[in-house]
Structure 1
Amino acid sequence: MNKFIEIAGRIGSQRHLVAIRDGFVSVMPLIIVGSLAVLINNFPAVNIGGLSLDFVGSMNNLFGEGNWQGLGGSIWNASFAILGLLIAFSIGYNLARSYGIDGLAAGILSLASYIMLVPVTADWGLNFAWLGAQGLFVAIIVSIVVTEMFRYLINTKLTIKMPEGVPGGVTRSFQVLIPSMIILTVVAGFQLFMTLVVELSVFEVICELLATYLLHKLKWELLGKTVLLPATVMDQARRAVPALNGCQSANINRLMLALMSRS
C-alpha cells in the first residue's frame, strides 16, 4: 500500500501533470460562472405543491422571447466558448513557470500556436466550434510541446541580449524573439502540411483517432461473439467529457457502422 501511495505521489507531482492541473484550476472561476449562466438560461420549470414555477417562461414574457438570454450567452462566449484558448495559455504559463523561465512569453506562444491550428471559416474567421471544450486535447498537447520547445531554445542561448540600461520589459521581449520566430515557423509548417497533405485539421484528426479508440474499447468478446455496447453509451461519454463534443455525430455514427459491419 505504501509503495502504491509513493508511486501515486510521484505521478501526481509530475511536472506536466501539475501544469495541466494548475492550468484548469486557473480558469475554474470562468468555468463556474459560465456554468451558472447556462443553467439560468435553461432553468427547467418546476412544480412545487401544485404551483408551477417557470423562470424561463416568466423572463420571456417580461423581456421578450430569448432577449434576456443574450446576457448569459455573452458570459458563455467569454468562458466555455473559448475554453481551449484559455487552457492553452494557462498550461503554457504554468509549465514555463515550473522551469523558471518566462511564463508569460510561453503562454502567449502557446495561445498563438493554438490559434494558428484552428480551422478558418469561409469568411476567414476562426471556427468557433474548436475554440472551446472541443479543442481541449489539442490545447493540452500544443501548450506542452510549444513550452518544451521554448525552454530548449531559451537554454541554448539562442537569444538576443540587450545592453545594460535597457528596460527589463524590452530585454525580455528581445530575448524571446528568435525562439518565438522558430516555434511559430514550425507550427505554421505543420499547419500547412495538415492543410495540403492530410486535408484535415489537427482537431479533426485527433477527434477521429479518439472516437475510433473509444469505440473499439466499447467492444468485447462474450461467449465467442463480438458485442457492441449501445450507441447511447458513446452519446453519454460525449456528454460527460466536453472535449468529445467536437467529435461530430456524423463521424461517430460512421465509425460505429464500420465497427458493426466488422463484427
Structure 2
Amino acid sequence: MQVFKKKNALKDCLSEFKANNYHVGFVPTMGALHEGHLSLISHSKKNNDITVVSIFVNPTQFDNTEDLEKYPKTLEEDLALLEKANCDIVFIPDAKEMYSDNIVSGTYSFDGLENQMEGKYRSGHFDGVATIVHAFFDLIKPTNAYFGEKDFQQLQIVKKLAEKKNLPLNVIGCPIFREKDGLAMSSRNVRLNPEQRAAAPFIYKLLKKVVLQAKKNTIEEISRQVEKEFETNELLNLEYFAIAEEDSLASPKEIDLSKKNRAFIAVHAGNIRLIDNISLS
C-alpha cells in the first residue's frame, strides 16, 4: 500500500497505471473508517485494477465549526484498516495541499437537487462537497467512484456533478451498512454517549414503520406520525423528515409505490447530527 500526501506525487504514480489502461476505483472518505467504508473499498477492488482511497476532512463542507473541530480523526487506525483491506493507494493531503491559501468552495448548480433536505439546513454544504470531489476527480481521474447511500442526496449531487461537467467516470452508489441494531454506520457515531447510542436505533425502527405506512397513508399523515414519535423522545430531536423522489429529490404530492421514492430523516442527539434514509419501493 502506497501513501501519498502531495498531489504531484500521486499524479506521477497514477500516470503509470493509466498508461497501461488500468481501471482505477476511487473511494473518498473523511477518515474515522468503519465497515461501511470498507464495503465501498470491497466494491472497488472487485471491479477495478487499482483502488485509491482519500482521507481528507474537508473544511468547506462544514457549516458548523464545532462539528468540524470535533470530527473524529483516527489516521493511524485508518491506515491499518486500509492495509488489511488491501487498498492500493491512500491519499492524505492537508487543506493547504488541496486549497492552497484560499480555503473557500466554488459555486455550483445541480438543477435544484441542492435545495432539498440537507441543502435547506446546511448552508453551502453541497458547494463544499462538490468543490473537493471535483478536485479529487480531476486529480485521480477514476474509472469508477464509490459513495454510500446513507448520504443519498450527496450521491445524487455527485452524479449530477459528473453529468454537468462531462466527467468520464461512473459514480456508483453502494448500500447503507448498519450496526446489528440497525443504526446506520457513521464516523460520528463514536461521539455518541452510551445513552444516546442506546437511543439511536430508534431512527431506523421508525423508518421501517414509514415503509409500512407508505402503503396506506398519505405523506401528511406519515409526517405527522413521525413528528409525534419524537415529541416524547428526550434524547433525540427531529430536524427534518421528508419523502422524496430518488432522481429529482422533489417531494411528490402523493406516494406512488410504482415509482422510486425514499424517506429521509435528520436527527440530533445532543449536538451530534445523524442522518438516514430508506427506500419505499
- Which TM-score band applies after superposition, normalised by the shorter structure? under 0.3
Query: Which structure is richer in relative contact order (CA contacts within 8 A, separation 6 or more)?
Result: 2
Bigger helix fraction:
1
Bigger strand fraction:
2
TM-score (norm. length: structure 2): 0.24
